[in-house]
Structure 1
Amino acid sequence: MSLDMWLTFLVLAGAVALFVSEKMPPEVVAMLALAALLTLRLVTTEEALSGFSSPATVTVAAMFVLSAGLQHSGSLNRLGEMIARIRWGWLLALVMMLLTAAVSAFINNTAAVAVFLPLIIAAAVANKLPPSKFLIPLSYAGQFGGVCTLIGTSTNLLVDSMARQAGHAGFTIFEFSRLGIIFVVVGTVYLMFARRFLLPDLGVPQQADSGHAGRYVAELLVSGKSTAIGKRGSELLPDDSGDVVVLEIFRGRAAVPSPRGTEIEPGDRMLVRGTWPDIEAARRKLKLSHDEVARDLEVDDEGERVYAEAMVAPGSHLIGHTLAAVRFAHLYHARVQGLHRHRLSIRQPLDQVPLAMGDVLLLDAPESALDLMRADPGLVLLGERDQPRTSMRRALFALGILTAVVAVAASGLMSIVAAAILGCIALVLLRVLEPEDAYAAIDWRVVLLLAGVLPLGIALQNSGAAALLADFSIGLVGGFGPVATLAVIYVMTSVLTEVMSNNASAALVVPIAIATAESLGLDSKPFLVAVAFSASTSFATPISYQTNTMVYAAGGYRFRDFVKVGLPLNIIFITMAVVLIPRYFPFSP
């Protein structure tokens, strides 16, 4: 092994460890890997920066804008409203999955799920059906719908770009479709069974609720008239307070050392956790109030006030920032009264908690403020059923432009990247999107991730590390034939994707897949298809894909629910891939 190979493996191991640990955002890890490769001279400056100019990176950014055109015009809302009129649960689930899969084949699946999510919750509640029976199928349908076309997911575009960079033939826009449609049909049939027998029934929320199931952390202020004054933390809550728990007591900005043994004083603030009805019951009994931040908003808070739940969307500008830092109350004219987060104990004042993807905020806001939140791609309203009106002119323009982009790219008249860029320009010129909306629509985290991991793939190829890993894989299973090797590539990608970014796992495995094909003297396409399909369909954990994280919070699921429903689907897809990929993409060059 050469020095370059050792250094490449070192960078690769460090990147994988950081991706899996989630101590840093994936795009930061990708940039660190890029800097390490450049510093160690494992790639040239041109190769290091090639990720930023890659057709995959530019096309993904353009597809975010094209997806936003459909969102802002209200086209997807109209589709969602049509689904919501269905009264039978089984038919609602079937139509929801098929429509989500169809939409996700052409636009970003995270955007599709973000639009359909609140509408499906509202439709389920209105028909007295548990939302938990619908939301995991919604997420999974968005994933397996994305593998039907080249532009369905950023991973497909990444695999195509890396193949072309390595001198291999890429894919046409509908080359995945025949295989992808089979995956959609099988996945839908499985989920129709799984939603009945495997998915949990978490009950039907009251109509006044948003449909979100889970416990909130709330911050309550002890006023001068509160009956809590003089009581110790351990004797504070009434016996009928349900599962409400006092987490911390703050005096000034500091937490008291022993909340259970401390006597409550006027002006103290209590951090409590429990279901929202129980928190409200305890608050009223103890005469506590919500901490009023941004008092100067009172002038603007005329008219009827509503409770709304909003989820922090993937790629949101709020991620990593606190409510205080972004001046949330002034930005949205709404007060955060509770915060729900899976798997993390919150022990800070709410306005000092860095927000994370999937956080659900309970908001007290005037109805006029909800339009601000609907227009912000960083938030997904879960509790409001009313949707903005559809602009028929803008909807037709948005749909026509996306159709034209797909048609031109599919016909070969223009490359996908050129067609997508022209489509974005058309959206702005026709005023479907304002320039500011177009900029905001791009998830720059994904762009940076793609730009950072592409040079890592180049280093794996240049140093010979990819060929070494391929030879190792062939040595283990090569004697069993190319089908067994294909299965190893698929499973390797699947396992990596469950614990790290799907784009990162694809970028690591594509060079190995190409080197494996070359060593065996086979066409690289079946192995590349295996990587693309495996990285784009991650079902077994709530953190393996962005749409899984979204429904994890909104549906009140547990981690094991994804394992119970998603792991069998992963096994089904692996089996199908090993059998069907060689049929549609033969090994012979």
Structure 2
Amino acid sequence: MNGELIWVLCLLAVAVILFATGKIRMDAVALLVIVAFILSGTLTLEEAFSGFSDPNVILIAALFIIGDGLVRTGVATSMGAWLVKVAGNSETKMLVYLMVTVAGLGAFMSSTGVVAIFIPVVLSVATRMQTSPSRLMMPLSFAGLISGMMTLVATPPNMVINSELLRSGISGFGFFSVTPIGLVVLVLGVVYMLLMRFMLKGEKQDLLREGGKRSSFRDLIKAYHLTGRARRLAIRPGSPMVGQRLDDLKLRERYGANVIGVERWRRFRRVIVNVNGVSEFRARDVLLIDMSAAEVDLRQFCGEQMLEPMILRGEYFSEQALDVGMAEISLIPDSERVGKTVREMAFRTRYGLNIVGLKRDGVAMEGALVDEPLQVGDIMLVVGNWKQISQLAQTGRDFVVHNMPIEESDASPAHSQAPHAVFCLMLMVALMLTDEIPNPVAAIIACLMMAKFRCIDAASAYKAIHWPSVILIIGMMPFALALQKTGGIDLVVSGLIDIGGGRGPYFMLICLFIMCAIIGLFISNTATAVLMAPIALAAAKSMGVSPYPFAMMVAMAASAAFMTPVSSPVNTLVLGPGKYSFSDFVKIGVPFTVLVMVVCVVLIPVLFPF
């Protein structure tokens, strides 16, 4: 063992200790490693910064952006709403659907992002079913990890392994090469969690959401006595309302009807558009109306204006929470608006929102509110676009926005572009499957298409990239090169050959899995893949067998970070909401990791022969 190798191994040990203690950010540690390699002369400037030119780094960054596009357009949130709908009150159904949905979404976007999206969903479901969140949180994190085994681009370790194959002059894996293994592990994970969930005990969830008791749309509708006042009325062709502006129709004065939104067909789907005094109506628009004057004859109103009543279910507002917002507001004491009526201040025209409820001294007022002078201490319920509510909160000149409902966290700024986001995702997958276009280029094309369709914007795209993860990957890549230059990889490989070389490739697969699992206890799965990929390929070359089964074993082992809450960010995310201890992950995660190893040892050689 030469002096340079000892230096590299010492630097690696220091990095692992810093990763494990968490006293210094992991991305900062990675940058310090690059500096140390350059200053010590172990690597040249070009070699130390080679990670910045690696195409897979660009691919990983692009996938963060695509995942954010799915969030901004409400695709991921809609999946969560569908999950709650189909599972009902069955914990077993919820667990199965939850794991399958998360694994499916995580195959194309960040597993950390998917798990973060579903944490409030699981908390809400646990509250409704009067069960402990701990019985669903760990299945959620396990599904997030299993999603890394579903496609080539599902997790950075897969792309790191594929990049190492290409760097060695070997053809890489296909987009769905890992999928058969992932599907088997997913089925195994679902069955395992159904059997083991009873070991996850905890207190029942009492709060609606983490962070306090926040009202829901249903709570606000009940508190302001809005039940039965809302109507959905479709404008028939030939209606006198067609082509007319809202202010000119004077629906409030004539019928006590307050138009708070309009459903309109856009690109093959109905969306709710905001209305103000100059909004013009079209045939087949569906008006969402608050009928504050109870004495008005609805049949007469519909007959005179040629309107057709539509079904309005009790959960309508909750189902439209991606587009329609609600919030309680109050006047600032020294505001010029004190003493003025809603009509006098032209509230809808000025702010793009509708006041549909008013509380004075804690009591909800009945009847028309448009001519009621507003007083200090009044609390008003407004309905409208989430963006308009946010703008009202930011101005802070006359009104203060408070008590945002829990549905606010589900709002998506680009919800109307959801079909385009799905199209961009499918286009990326199709381009990757052709093998004619490099994966990073396919991902960039999908990002540009999402920008073209306004699924994302420049600011959100840059924010979506998890730069600490990107820098971590870039900073750890020189370790593999340094170990190769100083003979470290040859030393590890010779040790592995001495231990298991004579016992055949199957035993070597087990050794590789165990090494990855042990290293993964202290550093991220991405860094584990960076370190183990060249070792796996060198071991395959020494044994004279195909490199593919060894490379695939490292990829699968890197995703099998089930054993501790710090093995992966998705485990850390559910630690608090699930109220888990370190031992909970050990007693559930270690047996499952062993099962995954058995599946990989049996299945990988069948799919990728030695």
Alignment size in residue pairs: 436
Q: Distance in 2 between matches of 1:154 and 1:299?
A: 55
Q: Classify the secondary structure of the residue corresponding to 2:609.
A: coil
Other-structure match for 2:161 = 159
Do the aligned residues in 2 keep the contact of 1:198 with 1:564 (CA within 8 Å)? no
2:444 equivalent to 1:421: yes
Q: TM-score, normalized by length of structure 2?
A: 0.67
Q: Classify the secondary structure of the residue corresponding to 2:566.
A: coil
Shift of 1:45: 1.9
Do the aligned residues in 2 keep the contact of 1:105 with 1:151 (CA within 8 Å)? yes
Residue from 480, 493, 498 that aligns with 1:457: 480
Other-structure match for 1:312 = none
Shift of 1:185: 1.0
2:601 equivalent to 1:578: yes
| Structure 2 portions without partners, runs of 5+ | 214-331, 336-375, 382-392, 395-399
Q: TM-score, normalized by length of structure 1?
A: 0.70
One-letter amino acid matched to 2:607:
Y
2:41 equivalent to 1:41: yes
Other-structure match for 1:59 = 59
2:124 equivalent to 1:122: yes
One-letter amino acid matched to 2:143:
A
One-letter amino acid matched to 1:393:
S
Residue from 562, 565, 575 that aligns with 1:552: 575
Q: Distance in 1 between matches of 2:518 and 2:377?
A: 53
Other-structure match for 2:9 = 9
Other-structure match for 1:200 = 201
CA spacing shift, 1:205–1:49, aligned 2, 3 Å: same
CA RMSD in angstroms comes to: 2.7
Shift of 1:298: 9.7
2:461 equivalent to 1:438: yes
Q: Classify the secondary structure of the residue corresponding to 1:134.
A: helix
Do the aligned residues in 2 keep the contact of 1:63 with 1:108 (CA within 8 Å)? yes
CA spacing shift, 1:205–1:460, aligned 2, 3 Å: same
Residues 17-166 of structure 1 mapped to structure 2, 5 A cutoff = 17-85=17-85, 86-166=88-168
Do the aligned residues in 1 keep the contact of 2:146 with 2:559 (CA within 8 Å)? yes
Shift of 1:386: 6.0
Shift of 1:489: 0.6
Do the aligned residues in 2 keep the contact of 1:122 with 1:211 (CA within 8 Å)? no
One-letter amino acid matched to 2:587:
K
CA spacing shift, 1:167–1:15, aligned 2, 3 Å: farther
Do the aligned residues in 1 keep the contact of 2:123 with 2:205 (CA within 8 Å)? no
Do the aligned residues in 2 keep the contact of 1:106 with 1:146 (CA within 8 Å)? no
CA spacing shift, 1:425–1:431, aligned 2, 3 Å: same
Residue from 366, 374, 379 that aligns with 2:402: 366
Q: Distance in 2 between matches of 1:101 and 1:144?
A: 6
Other-structure match for 1:328 = none
Residue from 530, 542, 555 that aligns with 1:507: 530
Shift of 1:443: 0.3
Q: Could you report, residue by residue, the CA deviation over 1:144-168 in whole angstroms, capped at 9, with x for unpaired residues? A: 0221111000111111112222333
Q: Distance in 1 between matches of 2:209 and 2:463?
A: 32
> Computing the radius of gyration over CA atoms, which structure comes out larger, 1 or 2?
2
CA spacing shift, 1:302–1:114, aligned 2, 3 Å: farther
Q: Could you report, residue by residue, the CA deviation over 1:489-542 in whole angstroms, capped at 9, with x for unpaired residues? A: 111101111221111111111121121111111111111111111111211111
Residues 404-415 of structure 1 mapped to structure 2, 5 A cutoff = 404-415=427-438
Residues 201-350 of structure 1 mapped to structure 2, 5 A cutoff = 201-207=202-208
Q: Distance in 2 between matches of 1:166 and 1:500?
A: 25
Q: Distance in 2 between matches of 1:303 and 1:182?
A: 59
Q: Distance in 2 between matches of 1:392 and 1:442?
A: 20
Other-structure match for 1:360 = none
Other-structure match for 1:182 = 184
Q: Classify the secondary structure of the residue corresponding to 1:554.
A: coil
Q: Distance in 1 between matches of 2:17 and 2:412?
A: 46
| Structure 1 portions without partners, runs of 5+ | 213-296, 307-331, 334-363, 371-382
CA spacing shift, 1:305–1:556, aligned 2, 3 Å: farther
2:540 equivalent to 1:539: no
Q: Classify the secondary structure of the residue corresponding to 2:577.
A: helix
Other-structure match for 2:517 = 494
Q: Distance in 2 between matches of 1:436 and 1:391?
A: 14
Q: Classify the secondary structure of the residue corresponding to 1:500.
A: coil
Q: Distance in 2 between matches of 1:510 and 1:545?
A: 19
Q: Percent identity?
A: 32
One-letter amino acid matched to 1:82:
W
